[in-house]
Amino acid sequence: MNDISTMVNNLEDLLVKEFRTCQSIHVLTKEERQALSRYDSQSLATLVEQKEAALDELGQIEDNRRMIVQNLGIEFGLDAQSPSIAELSQHLPKEAGDRINHLREGITALAGEIKVLTSGNRTLITAALSRIDAMQTFLVDTFKPALFYERPGGSPQTQPDLVWDVDQRI
């Protein structure tokens, strides 16, 4: 039983770490939105690096959590290869199960908010890229040389002068 209580405590600790990491990703995603709105590429580059590091940390935490949940599932005799935390919490003492469920719900809520923010950020990025593409097209068209000669001060030609090809074969 001591081994089970240690695993439950470790699971709870990992869920707390996962929740805190999700909170930091949430904050970074909000700051990313502000940087996108200000077109601040320097801040955006720094935020993306920080977010990548947080996502790597989250991946490691999730791997450890899955391992503990799987081991607890084996200890409780659950049939599933990898039982869910909700299934597992039904076999825990009520107080520990409630704490773990509360943490799981908080993580799920934060993940949902992060998903919505990320979708909005993606829309801002797409709009910015469209503006850049339109500006680039405008600038290229503005500075593109004319296809035919125009006299200075004269009225612009709408059609180029006709050029007659002369067959020079003998």
pLDDT, one tens digit per residue, over 1-32 is 568 889 999 999 999 999 999 999 999 999 99
pLDDT at position 170 is 62
| pTM value > 0.85 | no
Percent of the chain with pLDDT over 90: 58
- Residue 80 pLDDT exceeds 80: no
Predicted confidence at residue 101, as pLDDT, reads: 94
Q: What is the CATH number of domain 2-131?
A: 1.20.58
The band of 150, judged by pLDDT with boundaries at 50, 70 and 90, is low
What pLDDT score was predicted for residue 137?
A: 86
Q: What average pLDDT does this structure show over 43-70?
A: 95
Cβ-count burial of 115 within 10 angstroms (0-12 exposed, 13-18 middle, 19+ buried)? exposed
Question: Is a pLDDT exceeding 60 seen at residue 161?
Answer: no
Does residue 114 have a pLDDT over 70? yes
Residue 122's pLDDT is: 95
